[in-house]
Structure 1
Amino acid sequence: MVAQLDYHKIREIFGRFHAADPEPKGELDHVNAYTLLVAVALSAQATDVGVNRATHDLFKIVDTPQKMLDLGEEALIEHIKTIGLYRNKAKNVMRLSKILVEDYDGVVPNSRAALKSLPGVGRKTANVVLNMWWHMPAQAVDTHIFRIGNRTGICPGRDVNAVERAIEDNIPADYQLHAHHWLILHGRYTCKARKPLCATCIIRDLCEFEDKNL
């Protein structure tokens, strides 16, 4: 159990993240809002690397909902069959593409409620799209952020919704836009689940994690 960090420590932590990487980027390849939405929807229970490999050729020929409908579900499956749950994901991508064409003139909405109404799109996916494409300070909490939030005390919570609220409450407003990317990347490459690289961590002296791997 870690104690919640105070405001000054949290500001110092994100100041260091900012100094190391002022403009952190998501690692899913995309060319527009629609391909970003599709990529994020495909990334559930899959790695970004695996999704990028699957969509590399797909996004060369499909970059709009109508083109996806023209491609068809079986052809989509051929592109994404290396991704887990690919059949269900293909059905959702086709369904959401149909809704975008029929109800939104082929344009991806910039409303969380509208995005969440699409098949296969939950709050996390919606928040990623809102953040990465429209630059809104929406916090997409994945397993990395959940782990780091509770390890460090920056944004503790019993579930992803609680951690999302803690990010909004605890992290200074000027760091909100990039907060979830800094945390995801830190969790992916430094604060790993089994063997965190504490010895090279830039926030080691500010982190409240008791079992540091030094």
Structure 2
Amino acid sequence: MPRLLLALLLSLPLGIAAQAAPPASAGQTPPAPGPKVLLHTSAGDVTLELYPDRAPKSVANFLQYVHEGFYDGTVFHRAIPGYLVQGGLYTRDLQPRRTHPAIASEADNGLSNLRGTVAVARGADPNSGTAQFFINLVDNRRLDYAGNQSGLTWGYAVFGKVVQGMDVIDKIAALPTRGQGPFAADVPNPLPVIESVRVIGEQAPAPAASTREPAATPKPAQRRSKARGA
């Protein structure tokens, strides 16, 4: 199957001017401005705006990991030009960190996986998202909620968007890729490191909370799956 149509399962940019805010569904207002989060990466800084009014569980889950310092030292382990960039679980040596329990999917919140939006990565079960997230490089409407018939039709929950630094995400997407560690392909070389993640306006978490115990052996990646979760 074509790259963008393969089953999407990993538990789990062309300039800021090209970003588009996710449209509201009929009769709904656009997402209200929410907290902003700064991702300081080895490729540059990226600022996200979150949507707690439209994706409260997803935002609360993401912020819990941020406040714990979970993302510090993780990497963007997956980059597919014209599709997405994904990260938020694996360390520099591509070992997964131990996560909290999975959360219920909010993919049916009316938000679309448009360029620059941030969504929860997951496995075959729609309710299997944990720490991983992905950033859409293009309008990936095929990843939107289409019904509750299966994991494929359920889609992926958008919970925020890039408001600054989409050029950084584009730069990551343009890196050469290779197979490395548990992944057969699509691993950027060199690995872009998420050095720190902070809520803008909040005090940084204590250094002791900056890492979590690694999980056991990582699961093998499925080749060319969509927004997969471990």
Task: Provide the TM-score with structure 2 as the length reference.
Answer: 0.23
Return the structure number with greater relative CO, CA threshold 8 A, min gap 6.
Answer: 2
Say which structure is richer in strand.
2
Of the two, which has the highest radius of gyration? 1
Say which structure is richer in helix.
1
